[in-house]
Structure 1
């Protein structure tokens, strides 16, 4: 019986502290700086090691990034078997540590990380399959509905899955499309077709976590269940064993481990063992729509789904926007953001790949540092919050001081109160807020600075903090292409519940929650230009005081 070929963490270990291989420099310890990745080394023709220099921007401008990344992987290793895999990315979720003998393959259930290349979970599954000389299978389980997702989200998802199927076919890997949740459907396939082990990716949200619990119960007793965090640079269970208070408390814990985890990826290669299973239905991308029951919402047109679309967006950001990212990203009238969140959310491009590439642009150091702060520290802080706080989408999940201050001001008089329908239709007295909502409705995104203002106004215009949070989460989950995500929940909770923040000067309704207003936005950027772009109007309504 062949074992898993790698020592992994058991899920019952409460705290994991991998060795730290370097000391932090003074530069790393500065408030908002993130360490650059260590220089990588490649084998030269004579067998010696040589450092890889940062690739000049001019060279990258002449190379499409899909080809560039393919070459980067090729330079890193021949396959996952020749690569030193970080053991702590992996944890075994049941009591079995050996692949079943005489199995028909290794099975990877893909959910959060919907890509073939640059996917640590997929790579680990191939490692097991190669070591045990068996075929490799991967599946996606299409749900009839998921939270407030609609056709806008499902079309983006399905188009990405079609690209995955094509690439899997070219790599001699069997791709399966199941209907229903993986906690129910995966055990059926594993039992019927005698799979040797199951690999899954990681998502901290409660519904996917429950699927995993159901999967553990449904799998045969002799099948290992292995989870790989392919979404975070540093696995969430390695970074910390508790909910972190703020970015300042988690930053050092992440940065101190980047030399171990912020590495290049080896390639997922053409698999040498082909599946001989019979009677397996191929995905039907037309019929799949008969298995979902979701509302219709117009597709977004600015973002092309799939890995190639995400890589193209990264290329545009690096070559055209990164130079201004540090100084102008908080201006909603300018196009200086990365706009990578749709692909990050669906896992169609690895955040780690984006960070590796952005970090090559040494001439834009401030922009690189700012992007790394957002894409590493802030993004992984969100996963930490959702993983350790079961009330991540409730006022109950807020800090004690925030819960108390909101309670103290619960009965404060609201000048304006709007229903969810009025908010959804952008029919408030605030033309800037309405313009932001119109952008969300039409484009499936909202500028990050305005998202804070948007959510805080919902708190100001709702009867209770609970109603405000529910409205903000619904509007974000339903309209934003990156909704139903750790970052979205944390964004709403920061604005309305003060998580990862501190108490501020006390005022009506908000209490000590940080306040934002229209006049403050006017000082930050040209609000008239933004309003003119999206057409938000001032809608008259009797104030609550008048009533």
Structure 2
């Protein structure tokens, strides 16, 4: 079922007598549980046209590097193979996404596009709106509850958001039917990248940052679904212990959710099938917390700087910005895990070498950057830059919300103290008291040695 709330006509242009329906796939590169794809197939069948899928690989996605592009391309291989089995032509081109979509739309009856939430993704769509000569329809598929349906404004906290989104869950937690394309498009001749050599594609992008790909996580929907099955079978029952860095009870879905390679709806429906005691806690993270982050970046254009903070947090950090720091580090010292703190260093090394830092350590990591940097603005930018450079799931709503949380976003005021003011504080004593933190450090050191 595709709810009308997921569908939005973006311009007033008419249907054209074109050669095909074009699905501009950008935020949701998957064929499994993709409302935009299934809508495109239904539209093509109704018009008695073939469907063509286009994906544009941009050279200029902010802060993206070899690590991110490798994961993306691995996923696109999955998409292309799956579409081929369904008789659907896919054109993957190294081109500015809106430019490529506009060019292919010259011969299209209608264009369908999925929905992204970051500024750059919204700018791409706006550019297409300005230039397209045919109808443009957006279908939202990367959240369980469409962002504007969940809330019409930026929410202050998880508590305020939870009350709203929970009322909508029964309506939107329904399976998506897979459609069959009547008129195949496989034989349509279009330029497209060859996946015989991923390195060749990446070399054409002219990337400045040479961050290496990781071996621990491989992109693609098939890998995501396999990993989800392992999580449900072996770790979901223990999800209440997920915060302990010395254990691994996490789902590791965030890189796949980031790239749109797995559907949050599919994950939620699979979790709901279980009788696991970890079910409700996991759904809170997957739906309430994750979609609160989407709400944040969608409604707050300042999501990548300190101005996004609530008034109390911004004021208290400003008040304490000149407080004396016992330790201060440069960006390079942070990047090279060169602090005095073995726990922080381990978290940084885990991120650099695996592309993913343990969730609880991300909070500690961000808090300490605030504590060990000359001022909050510099700390904020260092945290974002490191996170976006090395995390596979960096540069997305959850990444921006996660960094902002370390500075007071979606949180309440606490007892005032030096440097942090009323922003929540974390220290190494808490790690030692709650967890076998030295086991975590040892595991990371063994991993990178």
Aligned to 2:146: 235
- 1:522 matched to 2:414? The reply is no
Aligned to 1:90: 7
Deviations 1:94-118 (A, max 9, x none): 123x532x22111111111110120
Q: Runs of 5+ in structure 1 lacking a partner?
A: 1-83, 537-547
RMSD after superposition: 1.4
- Name the count of aligned residue pairs: 442
Aligned to 2:237: 323
Decide whether the 8 Å contact of 1:439 with 1:445 is kept in 2.
Answer: yes
Decide whether the 8 Å contact of 1:459 with 1:469 is kept in 2.
Answer: yes
Q: How far apart are the structure 1 equivalents of 2:345 and 2:358?
A: 13
Q: How far apart are the structure 1 equivalents of 2:104 and 2:218?
A: 32
Paired residues for 1:40-55 under 5 Å: none
Aligned to 2:405: 494
Aligned with residue 103 of structure 1, among 6, 13, 18? 18
Aligned to 1:168: 83
Q: Which has the larger radius of gyration?
A: 1
Q: How far apart are the structure 1 equivalents of 2:25 and 2:435?
A: 42
Decide whether the 8 Å contact of 2:309 with 2:409 is kept in 1.
Answer: yes
Q: How far apart are the structure 2 equivalents of 1:267 and 1:437?
A: 42
Decide whether the 8 Å contact of 2:69 with 2:202 is kept in 1.
Answer: no
Q: How far apart are the structure 2 equivalents of 1:509 and 1:293?
A: 41
Paired residues for 1:49-68 under 5 Å: none
Query: Normalising by structure 2, what TM-score?
Result: 0.96
Decide whether the 8 Å contact of 2:373 with 2:379 is kept in 1.
Answer: yes
Decide whether the 8 Å contact of 2:88 with 2:186 is kept in 1.
Answer: no
Q: How far apart are the structure 2 equivalents of 1:522 and 1:147?
A: 37
Aligned to 2:30: 115
- Structure that is richer in helix per residue: 2
Decide whether the 8 Å contact of 2:367 with 2:406 is kept in 1.
Answer: yes
Aligned to 2:60: 145
Decide whether the 8 Å contact of 1:424 with 1:437 is kept in 2.
Answer: yes
Aligned to 1:7: none
Paired residues for 1:434-473 under 5 Å: 434-473=345-384
Deviations 1:426-475 (A, max 9, x none): 00000110011010111111111110000000000111111111111111
Aligned to 1:280: 190
Decide whether the 8 Å contact of 2:323 with 2:419 is kept in 1.
Answer: yes
- 1:359 matched to 2:269? The reply is no
Aligned to 1:136: 51
Aligned to 1:212: 125
Decide whether the 8 Å contact of 1:141 with 1:179 is kept in 2.
Answer: yes
User: How far apart are residue 283 of structure 1 and its match?
Assistant: 2.3
Aligned with residue 176 of structure 2, among 262, 265, 268? 265
Q: How far apart are the structure 2 equivalents of 1:317 and 1:178?
A: 34
Aligned with residue 288 of structure 2, among 377, 386, 400? 377
- Report SS of the residue matched to 2:84: helix
Aligned to 2:443: 533
Q: How far apart are the structure 1 equivalents of 2:186 and 2:217?
A: 38
Q: How far apart are the structure 1 equivalents of 2:171 and 2:443?
A: 45
User: How far apart are residue 145 of structure 1 and its match?
Assistant: 3.4
Q: How far apart are the structure 1 equivalents of 2:265 and 2:2?
A: 15
Decide whether the 8 Å contact of 1:412 with 1:509 is kept in 2.
Answer: yes
Decide whether the 8 Å contact of 2:70 with 2:202 is kept in 1.
Answer: no
- Report SS of the residue matched to 1:535: helix
Aligned with residue 476 of structure 1, among 387, 391, 401? 387
Decide whether the 8 Å contact of 1:182 with 1:215 is kept in 2.
Answer: no
Aligned with residue 224 of structure 2, among 310, 325, 330? 310
- 1:399 matched to 2:310? The reply is yes
